[in-house]
Amino acid sequence: MTSLSRREFIKTSIAATTAATAGFTVSQAALAQASAAEAGWKWDKGVCRFCGVGCGEQVATFDGKIVAIKGDPDAPVNRGLNCIKGYFNGRILYGEDRLTRPLMRMKGGKFDKDGDFVPVTWDQALDEIAAQFKRIYKAKGPSAVAMLTSGQSLVSEGYITNKLIKAGFRSNNIDPNARLCMASAVVAFYQCFGVDEPANCYDDFELADTTVLWSNNMAEAHPILWSRVTDHRLADKNSRIINVTTYRNMCSDISDLEIIYKPNTELAILNYIAREMVKRNAVNMDFVNKHCIFATGPVDIGFGMRPTDKFAFPAEKDTLAKQLNYTIDKYEAIAQRRPDMAGKSIEQKDAGRADAHWHITFDEYKRGIEPYTLDFVAELAKGDPSESLDAFKKKLQQLADYYIADKSKKIMSLWCMGVNQHVRGVWVNQQIYALHLLLGKHGTPGNGAFSLTGQPTACGTAREVGTFCHRLPSDMLVANPAHREKTEKIWKLPPKTLNPRVGTALMMALRGLEDGSVNFVWTQTVNLWQSVPNTNHWLKAARNKENFVVVADAYPTLSGKVADVILPAAMIFEKWGMFGNAERRMQCWRQLVNAPGQARPDAWMMLEFAKRFTLKEVWGELPLPGLKVEGFPDDKLPSVLEEAKKMGYNENMTLYEALFATPENKKFKWPDPIAKGTENSIVNLLGDGWFVEKALFEEYRPFTFGGHDLAPFDMYYDDKVRGLRWPIIDGKETKWRFSEGNDPFVKAGEGYNFHGKLLKAIPSGDLDGVKDTTPKPLPGKAKIFFRPYAGYPEKLDKNYDLQLCTGRILEHWHTGSMTRRVPELHRTAPTATLDMNPADAQARGLKHQDLAWVETRRGKIKMIVNTRGRNKMPPGTIWAAFFDEGVQVNQLTLDAADPLSLEPDYKKAAAKVYKA
């Protein structure tokens, strides 16, 4: 490295290493330079920080910095490739404005809600947070505090935060941004299969004959997977790709069939396909009889909005009113078998029991899908006004044909946010499963309905560790006494420590800040005030006098602006970490570099926070107004201190000692041979010599036994291992679930066993309701749901005449807080534009590149009109990405949500556009 400048050195090395992995030839001189340059580098395995695909990476460090990144040639997902975000994965650590000091609003040397941000020490910050937490906690109890985390939080971080708030603070108010992303998929998994996990895996992309994308722009949202799907289309000339979407996107480029439908009407299209299956005798009756039952649930369940307009903006009130009473149109009336109700207002009486469901007969199911004829569905669902009805009908028929094709043809249905972020997202998930179950094509190689995930560890952390307000680790539920008992046992808690009441979901927590039911919020690895819909409310609410908001992040974000304390967080390779991707693959990495300045891992913040609480402060009697649960006193959580003393706890012990640095955990000593000389800043900062990540992983592992079995910590760190797909039984990973020969939990001779344990006994009835309330068990069976077509609360009208859909682009990750800090990525897409049909633009006196106001009932923002955008919008629909801090699209979106999953619908808001 004598004559070579550092810059050149890094440059040539990246070039040479990437070239070598991709099989390119580079000149000998460049290679020689590169190897000379690489002399001091240390390569180690890593995982891409971004989407749910979970690409493996190799990361080179030198002199305490990440100097190069390459796709890991041994990673089965990506085999040495990356998308453009992954290519810059190492650079996101080095943005110019990394946060390096805790910042607190101060006036006169003291915390003041109205003060300006001032750098403070970690102790100052954490002490103040603890004081504020205690103030609120004492006054209002555990329901007034909330932790909002992320589908990007590490497994260890999720576990620590979850345990601290649920076992320590006895609150279930923890919810990840996976609520905004995967919650609908989760509820559908629970209701259909009794277990939250995909039955299929990525190997299926190479095995399927037909791949159907349901409102899923995989080409941009799952770049590397799309390259696999595409390659299979190339390799197998007889394979087909079908893109069912509300607008033409990049997937259409190679799709054999593109179906543009009107938002929300996939509910009708899916029922049409089911009806065709029945009509054409294509239902696999043998499979259905043996392994499935039919079910349905209530229809008038509202739209997950507040039942009151007390906090609404004046313009919002009419939309909000639909939570209570909703007028159905003629299509909904027909689809819901009440044609005489068309145009009538219907009370949403089942809003409180949206998740109820019950057995129905196959005949009832058939009665349910009967209205979904081709004529009816085509007229309702056609999404491109310029397309002829006949052409659209033909396409729908072809779609049905592909599903119904003979048994030897393998079919995969893929979806992600287009289905999940939907006022009836759970229903759509269930309808897709229904198609595959009716065909008996699920969970086998090349066959299945596969729910893709959006975030790198939505599956691994948020769902598996259970950082949701209703969950405990590994598919257990807080509302289930047996699950609480099991958890209390593993966590060595006195009985009744765990709060039996489901906490506030993410949207509810933010609404809580507005209505005063929640006063303390701490966010981790998430930029909620940009990413949650209808942000104008929450931006204001965060600043309410009585509220205290803590934002832990690596970079300045909009959320930080409304916070009271900002904590500088360590990022990806600055800590030991583990992610779980969409195909149940858990992957890990070591801490490769140190965080800059005083930036520290979220897990350390939690542990340090835990040190500030003694057991007597949190395990005594706590107010919990409204609590009415069997075995618990009304309106409060009982004191468990006496029991705790019996178990050997001391009431002056800190939560850190009681929950984390337990004698068992302290047996995992640092340093550990698997570290191979790498650092562990959490261990260094704590200074008490135990290997936090390993100890807590091994504590967590027993939760997973019996279905989600994880391998020992060290196995993931083995040099040869590139992640493992759980359950790992006898050291072997599992690719497909529920089918014999694939799933180790299915016994020989069973063929299939839907062995999920949740919601496995339900009442019976018909399409209109429960007739027999006695729970009828359905062991080993999956549920085929009938779900009708239903509308959405904010339909277009003369004033708001455009459907606003939002989403992601390939170049940026979420709110852009990381990717926009990489200049090269920033230049690829510097600003979010408004994709619009040229005819719509022209009708409003707008042309490409004009500045326009986009206005909904909730706010208005200026955007640049883009009629040449990457997405070709049909007339009537507009599209915008949410990555751009300068263009707050979520000030426009509606916070209506699926009432079952409470996942908001980002894809449908009525908007108007006019010249700015």
Query: In whole angstroms, how close is the CB of 210 to another protein at the nearest point?
Result: 9
State the greatest distance between any 2 C-alpha atoms of the chain, in Å, as a whole number: 85
Verify binding: residue 280, another protein, rule CB under 8 A.
yes
Which residue is it, tokens 């309106």? 635
Out of 151, 454, 466, 765, the active site residue is 454
Distance of CA 572 to the CA centre of its chain: 18
**Binding status of residue 353 toward another protein by CB under 8 A:** no
CA dihedral of residues 248, 252, 258, 263 (deg, nearest 10): -30
Out of 33, 58, 323, 455, the active site residue is: 455
Task: Write b or e for each residue in 425-464: b if 16 or more Cβ atoms lie within 10 A of its Cβ, otherwise e.
Answer: bbbbbbbbbbbbbbbbbbbbbbbbbbbbbbbbbbbbbbbb
Q: 124 catalytic, yes or no? A: no
104 catalytically annotated: no
455 is catalytic: yes
Of residues 841 through 870, those in contact with another protein by CB under 8 A are 847-849, 868, 870
What gap in Å lies between CA 881 and CA 899, rounded to an integer? 25
Residue 23 interacts with another protein (CB under 8 A)? Answer: yes
Q: What is the CA radius of gyration of the chain?
A: 27
Q: Which is nearer to another protein, 200 or 704 (CB)?
A: 200
Whichever of 243 and 753 has its CB closer to another protein, that residue is 243
Active site residue 842: no
Q: Does 398 bind another protein (CB under 8 A)?
A: yes
417 is catalytic: yes
| CB closer to another protein, 281 vs 774 | 281
Tokens at 460, concatenated:
């691994």
Catalytic site residue from 48, 51, 104, 181 = 181
Q: Least CB distance from residue 828 to another protein, whole Å?
A: 5
Determine the interface stretch with another protein among 345-353, 401-409, 729-737, 853-861 (rule: CB under 8 A).
401-409
- Name residues whose C-beta falls within 8 Å of residue 135's C-beta, 6 or more positions apart in sequence: none
Q: Choose between 223 and 765: whose C-beta lies nearer to another protein.
A: 223
Query: Residues binding another protein: what is the number (CB under 8 A)?
Result: 61
Q: In the range 460-479, which residues lie near another protein by CB under 8 A?
A: none
SS3 4: coil
Q: Which residue, chain included where needed, has tokens 């939002």? A: 806
Footprint on residues 774-833 left by another protein (CB under 8 A): 809-811, 824-825, 827-829
57 binds another protein (CB under 8 A): no
Cβ proximity to another protein: between 280 and 771 the closer is 280
Chain centroid offset of residue 231 CA: 27
> How many angstroms separate the CA atoms of 425 and 491, rounded?
34
Nearest distance from C-beta of residue 5 to another protein, angstroms: 14
Q: Shortest Cβ distance from residue 4 to another protein (Å)?
A: 16
Burial 563-590 (b: 16+ CB within 10 A, else e): bbbbbbbbbbbbbbbbbbbbbbbbbbbb
CA 32 centroid distance within chain: 45
* Of positions 4, 26, 758, 916, contacts another protein by CB under 8 A: 26
Per CB under 8 A, does 916 bind another protein?
Answer: no
Q: Is 323 a catalytic site residue?
A: no
Instruction: Output the smallest distance, CB 115 to another protein, in A.
Output: 39
402 binds another protein (CB under 8 A): yes
Shortest distance, CB of residue 70 to another protein, whole angstroms?
A: 10
Torsion of CA 527, 531, 534, 535, to 10 degrees: 20
Query: Could you say whether residue 29 binds another protein (CB under 8 A)?
Result: no
Q: How far is the CB of 22 from another protein (least distance, A)?
A: 4
Q: Which is nearer to another protein, 78 or 447 (CB)?
A: 78
CA distance 901 to 898: 5
Q: How far is the CB of 280 from another protein (least distance, A)?
A: 7
- Only segment of 229-237, 267-275, 561-569, 908-916 that touches another protein (CB under 8 A): 229-237
3-state SS, 329-358, equals CHHHHHHCCCHHHCCCEEECCCHHHCCCCE
Catalytic residue of the set 85, 140, 409, 760: 85
Binding mask 869-888 for another protein (x = CB under 8 A): -x------------------
Task: Compare residues 291 and 812 and give the one whose CB is closer to another protein.
Answer: 812
Q: Which of 112, 253, 642, 772 binds another protein (CB under 8 A)?
A: 253
Q: Which of residues 190-219 bind another protein (CB under 8 A)?
A: 206
Binding residues among 68-127 for another protein as defined by CB under 8 A: 71, 78-84, 86-88
Beta carbon nearer to another protein, 237 or 545: 237
Q: How far apart are CA 592 and CA 556, in angstroms?
A: 23
Cα torsion 10, 16, 22, 24: sign: positive
Nearer to another protein, 237 or 798 (CB): 237
Smallest distance from the beta carbon of 278 to another protein, in angstroms? 15
Is 253 or 363 the residue whose CB approaches another protein more closely? 253
**Least separation, in Å, of the C-beta of 398 and another protein?**
6
CA distance linking residue 147 with residue 165, whole number of Å:
8
Q: Does 240 bind another protein (CB under 8 A)?
A: yes
| Residue selected from 163, 228, 760, 820 as contacting another protein according to rule CB under 8 A | 228
| SS3 of 371-430 | CCCHHHHHHHHECCCCCCHHHHHHHHHHHHHHHHCCCCCCEEEEECHHHHCCCCHHHHHH
The letter for the amino acid at 219 is: A
- Nearer Cβ to another protein (216/704): 216
Question: Using CA of residue 531, residue 535, residue 540, residue 546, what is the dihedral sign?
Answer: negative
E strands, 390-532, are 411-415, 448-451, 471-472, 476-477, 520-524
C-alpha torsion sign, points 204, 205, 208, 212: positive
Q: How far is the CB of 809 from another protein (least distance, A)?
A: 8
Which residue in the block uniquely carries the two structure tokens 């998308």? Answer: 83
| Nearest partner of 251 among 262, 260, 242, judged by Cα | 242
Instruction: Report the catalytic residues.
Output: 85, 181-182, 417, 454-455
- Residue ranges binding another protein (CB under 8 A): 11, 15, 18-19, 21-24, 26, 71, 78-84, 86-88, 206, 223-224, 226-228, 230-231, 233-235, 237, 240, 250, 253-257, 280, 394, 397-398, 401-402, 404-405, 409, 809-811, 824-825, 827-829, 847-849, 868, 870
